[in-house]
Structure 1
Amino acid sequence: MSVADQPLAAYSASMPFAEAPEVTFSLVEVTLTLQGTQLLLEVSDPDKEKTPAPRTAGQHDEDGRGLAVIAALTNQWGYDLRRYTKCAWATFPLPAVTPACSA
């Protein structure tokens, strides 16, 4: 595995997430991985019952816009059900970078 395929960052136990009205806490893990000319974003949580699905948010809704934003910015997105978690993922194209100075 090359350096470009190594995870850039992974955060887990320090990111509790509470949902209302009944307050339940879950651990959310966010991983960014550089894959050649793409950035892979993965967000895992233990709620396998609530899978991501595009929907139209109402004017006063507090949620329902996330996947529209992701779809506008990504090459592709989806989710996988894993043994203990659900993992939503998206790939973002990266621009070509030209070094400011060359040796």
Structure 2
Amino acid sequence: MTEPLNGPIVKNLERQARDANTSIVVVGLYEKEGENVYNTTFLVNPTGLLLSYRKTHLWVGESAQVKAGDCFRSCNWQGTKKIGLLICYDVEYPETARAVASMGT
């Protein structure tokens, strides 16, 4: 099943984060954007969607199902911390963690 980041799964998790006054990270949503599908992880908090990241390093054969992401992102979390997200195989490459870390603290 695929859906956009403004679809029912993300909206439901945004409501749950708001009701519980917490943050939630979800790994492995098949995000649909236009004709493309991405393996996406995202962070929601009581205010809504804060950050999403599309897996950049696909496993062998995974490109038959999803397209690779093409950028790294970070955001401020809880007003004092800068965080980024990675997913699955991306953590095997030190350059990905280094790129996200270089976005600042």
TM-score (normalised: structure 1): 0.29
**Which structure has greater strand proportion?**
1
TM-score (normalised: structure 2): 0.29
Structure 1 or 2, whichever has the larger Rg, is 1
